[in-house]
């Protein structure tokens, strides 16, 4: 089956630019389920939901009573799960990893399906299956926690936009004060890095300009990580329809102050509609 460039690019932007959703249980703030696509303000990244703070080390599991229903026992994250959770949280916040789907939700502990990760709405807790959690399951928990944190603060689209613009202005001031580079310069630096990293395939790609930013006279997402302000430059196939094997997206994060490559990766070939962290190829610069 041919891949649509527009569809694939939409997935790219959802994957690389964090999205905020109203979700039943995990942060629902109104009855309609309205999707909001946005670059996430920095305020969200430091927030943990109160309802899940007590679950940082321990989550509930359940066993069936003889008379039906459930009784609670405690199942702690393993040390390995804790380590992987921290790694995946950073990947999630850095737009390089997202869950393939939203976490399953149930109304009460009695509705838990044994062996299936879920979020229990009535208690605000997670049921953890009695096995090591997969990357997908950990990402679903991280994603749910994030949504709870966002919506618990009463964020609206207007507030999100205001916070995003405020954060952007602060970062732009840092770039200006340091005599940094422009968006156009970042695009050219990223293009040269791409030619080095993926060779002839680079000729088949073009830069992806976010429509969310062109309306404000900008071209690229601008983020900050560990004190480094960087432009996130995306390239995707030029052709509208391509064979799955020819599919390629390249992302390059360019330090907005000194023009160095902060991080670069690509995803290529027939990877299907849902991408996993392991599908990405990372490049050293």
The percentage of residues in the chain with a pLDDT greater than 90, rounded to a whole number, is 39
The 10s digit of each residue's pLDDT in 100-141 is: 899 999 998 999 998 999 999 888 889 999 999 999 999 999
Higher pLDDT, 152 or 212: 152
pLDDT digits (tens, 9 = 90+) for 112-122: 998 999 999 88
- Which is it for strands 105-106 and 118-120: parallel, antiparallel or unpaired? parallel
Using the predicted structure, report yes or no on whether residue 9 has a pLDDT greater than 60.
no
pLDDT score of 3 more than 80: no
Give the closest residue to 206 by CA, choosing from 19, 9, 3, 17. Answer: 9
Output the pLDDT for position 185: 97
pTM of the predicted model over 0.85: no
Give the pLDDT confidence of 49-85 residue by residue, as tens digits.
Answer: 334 333 434 454 443 333 333 334 458 888 999 989 9
């Amino acid at each position: 089956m041919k891949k649509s460039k527009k569809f694939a690019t939409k997935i790219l932007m959802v994957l690389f630019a964090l999205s905020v959703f109203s979700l039943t249980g995990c942060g629902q703030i109104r009855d309609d389920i309205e999707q909001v696509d946005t670059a996430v303000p920095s305020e969200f990244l430091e927030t943990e939901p109160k309802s899940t703070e007590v679950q940082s080390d321990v989550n509930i599991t359940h066993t069936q009573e003889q008379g039906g229903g459930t009784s609670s026992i405690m199942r702690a994250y393993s040390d390995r799960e804790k380590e992987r959770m921290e790694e995946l949280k950073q990947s999630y916040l850095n737009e390089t990893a997202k869950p393939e789907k939203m976490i399953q939700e149930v109304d009460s502990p009695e509705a838990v399906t044994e062996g299936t990760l879920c979020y229990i709405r009535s208690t605000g807790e997670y049921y953890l299956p009695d096995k090591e959690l997969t990357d997908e399951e950990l990402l679903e928990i991280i994603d749910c926690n994030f949504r709870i944190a966002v919506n618990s603060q009463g964020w609206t689209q207007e507030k999100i936009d205001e916070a995003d613009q405020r954060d952007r202005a602060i970062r732009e001031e840092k770039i200006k004060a340091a005599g940094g580079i422009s968006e156009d310069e970042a695009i050219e630096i990223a293009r040269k890095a791409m030619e080095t990293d993926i060779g002839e395939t680079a000729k088949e790609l073009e830069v992806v300009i976010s429509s969310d930013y062109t309306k404000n006279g900008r071209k690229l997402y601008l983020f900050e990580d560990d004190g480094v302000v960087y432009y996130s430059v995306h390239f995707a196939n030029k052709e509208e329809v391509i064979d799955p094997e020819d599919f390629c997206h390249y992302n390059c994060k360019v330090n907005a102050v000194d023009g160095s490559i902060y991080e670069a990766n690509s995803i290529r070939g027939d990877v299907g509609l849902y991408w996993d962290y392991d599908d990405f190829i990372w490049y050293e610069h």
